[in-house]
Amino acid sequence: MAARCPRAVGNALAVESLVNDYGADVCRWWVSSLAFDGDVKVDLEFFRLAGESYRKIRNTIRFLLSNLADFEPEQHAVPLEDIESHSVDGWILGHAAQVERHVREAMHRYAFREAHLALFDFCNDAVSATYCVAVKDRLYCDETDSARRRRCQTTMHHLADLLCRLLAPIVPHTANEAFRSLHGDEASIFDTTHKGLSYESATEWPAIMRQREGVLKSLEEAKASGIENPLDAGVVVPDPEDRFKPFLEDFADLCGVSRARFVHGIGDIEIEDLREEPRCERSWKRDGTVALRSDGGHLSERDARAVGV
């Protein structure tokens, strides 16, 4: 049985013990983070921290896979060219295509730390903290076969597949395990050819995300007036050039609020207090369509359709 303290002779660390204690993929993930053009410092704390960041990557892929249980690509997938570039799905796909090009180019230069950081930031910030949070409502509350839910699942399938392929050189056991969950137990990521993701997001997305940052700041400030839950709020966002309207469908979910409006002619972001309006008992949204339904519950129009009342 391996000793808990993986020390060999002097201050050296025994590789076999490190692998036993932390796992091969965590050790490989740590190695990929190193700037190998200088001295490499080794400490057990580094492996603990590598394990934490590795678990964030693994949990991101797990969330994507867990929402594909009722998704059959041959039956439910939306053609990539039919996913609107102004949707939140279009945003993350365009971002993913950029990250893929960056990671593959970095790998060709043996810039493994650069690839490592790009993959971690993409999973932790863009996919997990932004995209997955924004689409939870439609995944859980839309009708099972609704167009936007299937569009979202199609996007998640592309993301999971791409992450498996980009991560395979670094964390092969994790990548292959996820790949088999996605494509079947007989599949192996090491028997496939890397498929590139070709997709371009709408050019207005950087401006939209800056507006989102402004909304999140305003929501934080609104807590002083008692609006603790963002779903108790609506947002009114300036649109001086009338170019943000196509992004309206997904903007409220991107900000975590019940509804949003883009308005020409206002100077600052405004937060609407919706706490006096009825709340959907299923999604907790106050979107202006909540009413008493035939089953005695208060539901939004979307949620009422989903449950058939």
Mean pLDDT by 10 residues, the chain (309 residues): 46 70 85 82 82 95 97 96 97 98 96 97 97 97 97 98 96 96 94 87 96 97 95 95 92 97 91 97 96 94 95
Are 156 and 142 found together in one domain?
yes
Are 158 and 261 found together in one domain?
no
The residues with which 261 forms a beta bridge, in sequence order, are: 236
- Among 140, 163, 191, give the residue marking a domain's end: 191
Q: Give 9's Cβ-side CA count (13 Å radius).
A: 0
Are 39 and 96 found together in one domain?
yes
* Count of CB atoms situated within 10 Å of the CB of 18: 19
pTM comes to: 0.91
Residue 255 resides in a domain: yes
Q: Which residue has the tokens 């932004």?
A: 130
Are 160 and 41 found together in one domain?
yes
**Ordered alpha helix ranges (H), 200-247:** 205-222
Residue 231 resides in a domain: yes
214-239 pLDDT, tens digit each: 999 999 999 999 999 999 999 999 99
The residues with which 259 forms a beta bridge, in sequence order, are: 234
What does the pLDDT read at residue 10? Answer: 54
Residue 233 resides in a domain: yes
Residue 284 resides in a domain: yes
Are 105 and 233 found together in one domain?
no
Cα separation, 299 vs 293, in Å, equals 7
Residue 200 resides in a domain: no
Q: What is the CATH number of the domain that holds 223?
A: 3.30.2320.20
Cα separation, 280 vs 138, in Å, equals 14
- Among 151, 167, 191, give the residue marking a domain's end: 191
Are 288 and 240 found together in one domain?
no
Residue 42 is part of which domain span?
A: 15-191
What are the backbone angles phi and psi of residue 290, rounded to the nearest 5°?
-70, 130
